[in-house]
Structure 1
Amino acid sequence: MRERDGITLIDTGYLRPGLCAAYLVEAGGRAALIDCGTATCAQRVLDAIDAAGIDRAAVDWLMVTHVHLDHAGAAGPLMRALPNARLVVHPRGAPHMIDPTRLIAGARAVYGDAMFERDHAGMLPVPESRVVIAEDGYVVPLAGRSLLCIDTPGHALHHYSVWDADTRSWFAGDTFGLSYREFDTAAGAFVVPTTSPVQFDPEQMHRSIDILLARAPASIRVAHFGEVDDCERLGADLHEQIDAMVTITRDAADAPDRHTRIAGALRRLYTARAEAHGVDAAAARVDTVLGNDIDINAQGLAIWLERASR
């Protein structure tokens, strides 16, 4: 889907339509791809680059905001198809792109072999010679268009966000939460934090959201899913929910059914907020669209609690 200002949203097709986005940024006949979906999405992403009229040899950069598989799993296959691209990755994520053995093993342990083969199979290593380490403040030059990488932990320690000065907008990966279009109403977009295992940290996430808002962005592009504006309101919503999610987790700390307790409380929190936002059939939509994210958020919160309690 072509957008304005030389930016194309690519639906990677991971799991369902409207779930996982990559972004193609064009300038002066050259391009950068920001995030790329899982390995099973690689051909769909290549087809979208072709459909945008960009020669594969003109893609100079593949920028992965972090190395979770829905953002970086296709990097290896894509680097083989994009002959001039270099992979831009956070220092903490680079080793896992060069040798994805641990990522693959971890994904198999979480998803099981059958689901891994269906949704993630085909990951490949990226040659170290084609990897660029994006320290905080690293600038990716794209035919005169500067893409600034800023360290934004909280969702993951290996996460950066990308500032595009030309549009005064961020590509925020998962730092600015989940905003699925099914929850849009006359009041605008709806947002939920994502606390995926295993590195969620609420204080880091608060700070990273403030870093994004400090530039008064015109919009923020999230991986799940698309572009949002009204960034101050959404940032305040995220701050409120992070605090509420921490309280939910602490309240369930000693419960024998802790995961179930946390997940149930998250479902009620998101449903109440969706109802207040004017979402039709809010409870059913939360279950249908956010059900998997609720389970993942509950896992991430429990792991954070265990780490914080040591």
Structure 2
Amino acid sequence: MSKKEPIQLNERVYLIDCYDMGVPERTGTYVINEQELTIVETGPSPSVKHVKDGLQTLGFSLDQVKYIIVTHIHLDHAGGVGLLLQDCPNAQVIVHARGARHLADPARLIAGAKAVYGDKFSELFDPILPISEDRLLIKGEGDTLKIGSACTLEFLDTPGHAKHHFSIYDPVSNGLFTGDTVGVRYSQLIRDGVQLYLPSTSPNQFDPEAMQHAIDRMLAMKLDAIYYGHYGMTAEPEQALRQVSEWLTVFMEEAQTVVAEEGGPELLAESLLKRVKNYLKEQGVADDHKEMEIIKLDMEVSAMGIVDYFSKLQIK
């Protein structure tokens, strides 16, 4: 795999490709170049080598890193934070209150991932290292973090994808680091001129009402940029947010039909993939586009989360 240089998104924010699952432009680490050097997301542990290389390419040493922020604790975003922290002696990890205990003791995270990924777990995620509580800094709704004389980040509680999820507002760029709450940006399609932003509705804390509330809240903020966990930045937040909202409605409509027919996540995943392929076909995108494999995987995971949501409704 050829080394990819970090991308400069604006005067002070850079994006390092984390190559999650060995796939380019799947997950990324954002570097905010302020007096207190701050990074957002680490990816899983196999991505940490790419984060380190990217920081070195940008001219930063690991002991300059002051804050490592994880939007939520899913392993593709935060699995590598313990490993990276070993080599960042001056850094603290910023995490949502609901996620902090799982970073301190990742046993349940590991067990849950092993149940889903089985034999692939080690290849995708090892090692997942605990973080001592004195290096964890909890932030929540309305909390702030000063990282420069002219930059104080603000934290927004943004459940919908997960209850342990916050987003981070950067006033200098009028931008928001949104993790997975308002969906996935399919950068390889966008580079080909086709806009695609889909919700990420993975198990087991998906909540469509909370997700829509987060979308509406961000629309009201009149942002100039959104920085996605998957992957990259859009300078057209309103268009992206409106599209992900429309797809969230589609996902839930398809799910209601499948659930009414007592179908499971496999059937829903097929149904969602068909809707997305039809949309892309209308935009002139062939079924064998290189992004389609990732979209298929995302629909499988999203379908599991939606079916899980409906099963919990029935229990209530």
On whether the aligned pair clears a TM of 0.5, the verdict is yes
- Decide whether aligned partners of structure 1 residues 284 and 309 sit closer, same or farther in structure 2, where only a CA change above 3 A counts: farther
2:16 pairs with 1:19 = no
Judge which range, 99-108 or 140-149, deviates more: 140-149
- Decide whether aligned partners of structure 1 residues 185 and 78 sit closer, same or farther in structure 2, where only a CA change above 3 A counts: closer
Q: Distance in 2 between matches of 1:7 and 1:294?
A: 30
Matches within 5 A, 1:91-110: 91-110=97-116
Equivalent position to 2:79, from 67, 73, 76? 73
Which amino acid counterpart does residue 27 of structure 2 have in structure 1?
C
Q: Which secondary structure state, in structure 2, belongs to the residue aligned with residue 103 of structure 1?
A: helix
- Decide whether aligned partners of structure 1 residues 108 and 270 sit closer, same or farther in structure 2, where only a CA change above 3 A counts: same
1:63 aligns to what? 69
1:8 aligns to what? 14
2:57 aligns to what? 51
- Decide whether aligned partners of structure 1 residues 81 and 161 sit closer, same or farther in structure 2, where only a CA change above 3 A counts: same
2:231 aligns to what? 225
List runs of 5+ in structure 2 lacking aligned partners: 1-5
Q: Distance in 2 between matches of 1:234 and 1:309?
A: 32
CA contact (8 A) 1:183 1:274 kept: no
Equivalent position to 2:142, from 137, 147, 150? 137
Superposed CA deviations along residues 206-259 of structure 1, whole A, max 9, x for unmatched, are 001112222111110101110112211221111111111111111111435422
1:37 aligns to what? 43
1:156 aligns to what? 162
Cα deviation for residue 287 of structure 1 reads 3.6
Which amino acid counterpart does residue 17 of structure 1 have in structure 2?
P
2:252 pairs with 1:281 = no
CA contact (8 A) 1:38 1:74 kept: yes
**What's the RMSD between the two structures over aligned residues?**
1.6
Q: Which secondary structure state, in structure 2, belongs to the residue aligned with residue 23 of structure 1?
A: strand
Q: Distance in 2 between matches of 1:64 and 1:279?
A: 36
Judge which range, 100-109 or 180-189, deviates more: 180-189
2:123 pairs with 1:118 = yes
1:264 aligns to what? 270
Q: Distance in 2 between matches of 1:61 and 1:302?
A: 37
Equivalent position to 1:193, from 194, 199, 204? 199
Cα deviation for residue 297 of structure 1 reads 0.6
- Decide whether aligned partners of structure 1 residues 75 and 163 sit closer, same or farther in structure 2, where only a CA change above 3 A counts: same
Which amino acid counterpart does residue 238 of structure 1 have in structure 2?
V
List runs of 5+ in structure 1 lacking aligned partners: none
Cα deviation for residue 186 of structure 1 reads 7.0
CA contact (8 A) 2:186 2:291 kept: no
Q: Distance in 1 between matches of 2:214 and 2:262?
A: 33
2:3 aligns to what? none
Judge which range, 259-268 or 89-98, deviates more: 259-268
Superposed CA deviations along residues 50-90 of structure 1, whole A, max 9, x for unmatched, are 11111212111000000000110011011111111111000
Following superposition, which runs of at least 4 residues in structure 1 exceed 6 angstroms of deviation?
Answer: none
Cα deviation for residue 279 of structure 1 reads 4.4
Q: What is the count of residue pairs matched by the alignment?
A: 307
Q: Which secondary structure state, in structure 1, belongs to the residue aligned with residue 259 of structure 2?
A: coil
Superposed CA deviations along residues 265-304 of structure 1, whole A, max 9, x for unmatched, are 101221222234x242157556423111010011011001
CA contact (8 A) 1:137 1:150 kept: yes
Q: Which secondary structure state, in structure 1, belongs to the residue aligned with residue 198 of structure 2?
A: coil
Which amino acid counterpart does residue 159 of structure 1 have in structure 2?
H
Judge which range, 49-58 or 93-102, deviates more: 49-58
Give the fraction of aligned pairs with identical amino acids, expressed as a percent.
30
2:255 aligns to what? 249
Which amino acid counterpart does residue 142 of structure 2 have in structure 1?
G
Give the TM-score taking structure 1 as reference length: 0.94
CA contact (8 A) 1:34 1:65 kept: yes
Q: Distance in 1 between matches of 2:264 and 2:84?
A: 40
CA contact (8 A) 2:188 2:291 kept: no
